[in-house]
Amino acid sequence: MKQEISKAISSTAYQTYEKLLFKEVSEGDIPHHIAVIMDGNRRFAKELGISSTEGHIKGKDKLEEVLDWCMELDIKILTVYAFSTENGKRSAEEVSALMDLFEENFIKLADDDRVHKYGIKVKVLGQRELIPPNVLDAIEIAEEKTKEYSNHYYNIALAYGSRQEITHAIRQIAQKVKDGEMEVDDICEDTVSTYLYTADFPDPDLVLRTSGEERVSNFLLWQLAYSELYFTDVYWPGFRKIDFLRAIRSYQMRQRRFGT
């Protein structure tokens, strides 16, 4: 009985704190573009004694929540690091399970009520030639059904590596120069940005990473040059709304300091 009362008090205190934090954050400068390195699914699963696949499913469920939080705060662009080129080196069984999960969720996204309610455009960033055909088909369905939207943008980095992205951009620019379509002296920062996967979007205001690792792991290396970075030791499936709000509050506090 005492344990139940303690849990109820703890839950009430959490909800109260969450509401206060949400009010504080919503009255401040909301980042236009948030990028997330979703890390810790496997370690979360290991601590709970469940399979890696179950950990990834819980991570997928968490992403659903984060999309809701972004809509609540009217965050315009959400970019998430879902599967890196390095992730492809994991066991065939784990990669296959992940690809099945991606296929299922892109199909679901295409008919997601939130997507159509809020006008969210879905886009995949990465090396599509590395993505299995069944997943590509599902991606094309989601992108096609949301291509006319422009209220919000949901970018999913899949088979993505930033060094590879930059290398690809350099090759395209070099080919333009070789073909006489561009002069070397015309190449500037804006030129490079134009040939990146994120050419249609402003750079992230805030990049956050879960799991306690404090590195960017080949994610948006060019784009995050002036982004605020935020690291939390919470594993991705255990990421709470107050953790998300704290990240934004940290961003707001840094912005206020720079503005004084």
Annotated binding site: 39-44, 56, 84-86, 90, 209, 215-217, 228
| CB-based contact 143:158 (threshold 8 Å) | no
* Nearest-angstrom CA–CA distance, 200 and 188: 17
Identify the active-site residue in 68, 74, 87, 155: 87
Identify the active-site residue in 39, 105, 112, 155: 39
| CB-based contact 226:255 (threshold 8 Å) | no
| CB-based contact 206:34 (threshold 8 Å) | yes
> Given the structure tokens 């991705």, which residue do they identify?
236
Using CA atoms of 210, 216, 220, 224 in order, give the dihedral in degrees to the nearest 10: 90
Is position 105 annotated as part of the catalytic site? no
**Residues 6 or more apart in contact with residue 242 via CB below 8 angstroms:** 14, 17, 18, 21
Check residue 224 and report its DSSP letter: G
Is position 39 annotated as part of the catalytic site? yes
- Give me the active site residues, please: 39, 87
